Amino acid sequence: MRILKYIALLLFLFLIGLSVFVSTQKGDYDVTVTKVIKNPRGIVFNYINDYKNWETFCSWIKEDDSYKFTYPGLTMGQGGSCSWTSSSSDGNIKTFAAKENESIFQKMKNNEELSEVYWTFKDTLGGTKVTWRNKGKLDFKSKVKAFFSGGINSVVGSIYEKSLENLNATLDYEINTYSIKINGITTLPGGYYLKQYLHCKQKETERNVSILVSRMEYFFDKNKINASGKPFIIYHKYDRANNDVAFSVCMPVRDSINVMPGSDIQSGKTASYTSLKTTLVGDYSHKQKAWKKALDFVAKNHLERNRSGQIIEVHKVGRKDVKNPSKWVTEIYIPVYPKAIQVKEDSATQESVTADKPSEKETIADNAK
């Protein structure tokens, strides 16, 4: 019995000593990981710059089903943010600076730990060199966990390295898998909608469309407004030569809604008109290919453009419906005058590109819900 008391005492003293040792260890950490992502810099930057995409590649999220995210109206670029809760943590992250295609600076709070997050993006042979740095200070609980796991650099570094591997596999398959199909002549029904208008440069169009779609969806959810369909974009002007684009991001409603004077949300109504319908299944980065295929079809089949109408894109299936970009569905409607025309299912009307699918070990995108 006396021996057991001695053993218990020694164990107690050991734990006290270990606690003192761990508590006196330096809690500051600075972890950096780097990986070449096999995609162009603009695509990689835009994907990481939007917090709604982080669920598809961050390893600590994919390995814990208890994570629940809350997204505000802005989730990308400066001012973008999100928050989360899980069985092991509560936290939030916000972007304080984002230099397009070059760098991102964020601040994160995970439980009571504060850290700074830095991303840099550089062109390199084979894709984009991504550097992910996290700088912060550990609390006592995290110090203990890090001590028994080989140190904070080992713990955070391995998590970030796995996340970048997931990112590479996700983008390689999800971004590069798409199909374009000419559906034929159809009548686009008219109706009421609420909209946000924006005028910008051509290269800023896709990023601004994504921001305004998220804001519009958030506005409808916050104000408990029932949409009668999916978000759509009306292109009022698309001048490539002068780098000038004007568009409205719209959400359909069943009846006309009056809005407060001076609001950036406006009401409108579209008329019904005949259009050539084209369907893109895949990431929005392929929309220009879909536009070109549709316009080439108009010219080849001597269809007359109806200039009183405007090109409309309907986000039939978007990021709010499914995380996988390869499963997004965008319908493009180009106004034309009615004409009977037969659309054949051949290479002239349909294009499909599928990236090599990563192994189950490498990818997480196919199982995202």
pLDDT in tens, 61-87: 988 889 999 999 899 999 999 999 998
Alpha helices in 40-139 (DSSP H): 41-48, 59-62
Q: What is the mean pLDDT of the chain?
A: 84
Whether pLDDT at 347 is above 70: no
Average pLDDT over residues 331-351: 75
Q: Which two tokens stand for residue 22?
A: 């761990």
pLDDT value at residue 119: 97
Tokens 């506005």 -> residue: 219
Domain ranges (residues) in the chain: 25-174, 179-356
Identify the band that residue 262 occupies on the pLDDT scale cut at 50, 70 and 90. confident
So what CATH class is 25-174? alpha beta
pLDDT value at residue 152: 62
Regarding predicted confidence, which is higher, 231 or 60?
Answer: 231
Identify the band that residue 151 occupies on the pLDDT scale cut at 50, 70 and 90. low
Regarding predicted confidence, which is higher, 281 or 16?
Answer: 281
Query: 34-38, 122-126, 147-151, 364-368: lowest mean pLDDT where?
Result: 364-368
Task: Give the homologous superfamily in CATH for domain 179-356.
Answer: Regulatory factor, effector binding domain (3.20.80.10)
Query: 67-76, 128-137, 234-243, 259-268: lowest mean pLDDT where?
Result: 259-268
Tell me what percent of the chain is helix, strand and coil, each rounded to the nearest 5: 30, 35, 35
pLDDT value at residue 341: 66
Average pLDDT over residues 192-220: 91
Average pLDDT over residues 134-140: 74
Q: Distance of CA 183 to CAs 179, 244, 349, Å?
A: 12, 29, 8
Q: Which two tokens stand for residue 217?
A: 């969806």
Whether pLDDT at 312 is above 60: yes
pLDDT value at residue 299: 93
pLDDT value at residue 26: 55
pTM for the full predicted model:
0.77
